[in-house]
A = this chain, B = another copy of it.
Amino acid sequence: MKTIEVCLTPDMLRYHDLSNKTVVVIDIFRATSCIVTALAHGVQSILPVATVAEAKLLQAKGYLTAAERQGSKVEGFDLDNSPFSYLKPELKGKTIGLTTSNGTQAIRSAQDAGAYEVLIGSFLNIQALQTYLQKSADAICLLCAGWKGKVNLEDTFFAGAVLANLPEFTSMNDDCVLALATYQQGLDNPVRFLESSAHYHRLETLGNRDDITFCLQRSIYHNVPVLRGDSLVNM
């Protein structure tokens, strides 16, 4: 039996045994959308780290580094986590250190919890992700990064979208039913639906409406980032 479960926030990871699971980390606004975009546009690898201090260490070692907190770039770093910042040709072939409020912590949490495999999911690469999961995964955990430990709407909505497209996987927890219901409620008009999310308003207030629109595009990229050691690279 092929199985799938949803973890609504990294805070709830304690209830999930990840040892034999393919974990998909989801941080739609904006870390995982940003990682997919960067690697789709030729960035060679991304080093996700949990803290600003770790990002500073990478910077000291000569890496380009990106750091976001509270939705904005942390002063002193090279890049933020807007996908638009990763379209520049001069980033091709580079390795970039990255820390964000939620997404990079979730990636590290999945690794620390002994995940068999850690993948990066977003609407931008949803079809490629699903194709890989259908072919190669037996047990999946969709890990929503949430916002500072709390549940968030856009990551849950995405988890529901993946669930809806993988009916051959048996749902293993009630989080799946919540995610699927959330997806089905918002399906007809995702932008309007997600306008009720807390983080949408946070980003909009910060002037990042274009980022929201960008991150909700479906399958414009075909790469599936995977964690190899400490680096995210294309599969």
Query: Which residues of the partner chain B approach A211 to less than 8 Å between Cβ atoms?
Result: none
Q: Which of B148, B150, B175, B198 contacts A151 (CB 8 A)?
A: B175
Q: Which of B152, B156, B184 contacts A185 (CB 8 A)?
A: B184
Asked if residues B153 and A174 are in contact (CB atoms below 8 Å), the reply is yes
Binding stretch for chain B, among A7-15, A59-67, A217-225: A7-15
- Cβ contacts under 8 Å, A178 to chain B: 151, 153, 156, 178, 181-182
How far does the Cβ of A146 sit from chain B's closest Cβ, in whole Å? 9
Contact A198 B173, CB 8 Å, known A8-B151, A11-B11, A12-B11:
yes
In the complex, whether A20 has a CB less than 8 A from a CB of chain B is: no
Cα A173 to Cα B175 with chains together (Å)? 17
How near does chain B come to A143, taking the closest CB pair, in angstroms?
14
- Asked whether A150 lies within 8 Å of B12 as measured between CB atoms, the reply is yes
Provide the A1-42 mask, 1 if CB < 8 A to any CB of B, else 0.
Answer: 000000011011011000000000000000000000000000
Binary contact readout A165-199 vs B (1 if CB under 8 angstroms, 0 otherwise): 00000010111011011101110000000001111
Besides A12-B149, A177-B197, 13 other CB < 8 A contacts?
A11-B12, A150-B174, A151-B174, A152-B174, A153-B174, A153-B178, A156-B178, A174-B197, A177-B182, A178-B178, A178-B182, A181-B182, A181-B184
Which residues of A, 128-166, contact B by the 8 Å Cβ criterion? 147-153, 156
Residue numbers in B under 8 Å from A184 (CB-CB) = 181, 185
Give the distance to chain B from A69, nearest Cβ to Cβ, in Å: 18
Q: How far is the CA of A153 from the CA of B179 in the complex (A)?
A: 11
Q: Are B185 and A181 in contact (CB-based, < 8 A)?
A: yes
Cα(A153)–Cα(B182), bound, Å: 13
Residue of B whose beta carbon sits closest to that of A16: B150
State A180–B8 Cα separation when bound (angstroms).
16
* A200→B38 CA distance, assembly (Å): 44
Residues 42-78 of chain A, each 1 if its beta carbon lies under 8 Å from chain B, else 0: 0000000000000000000000000000000000000
Which residue of chain B has the shortest Cβ distance to A197 in the bound complex?
Answer: B174
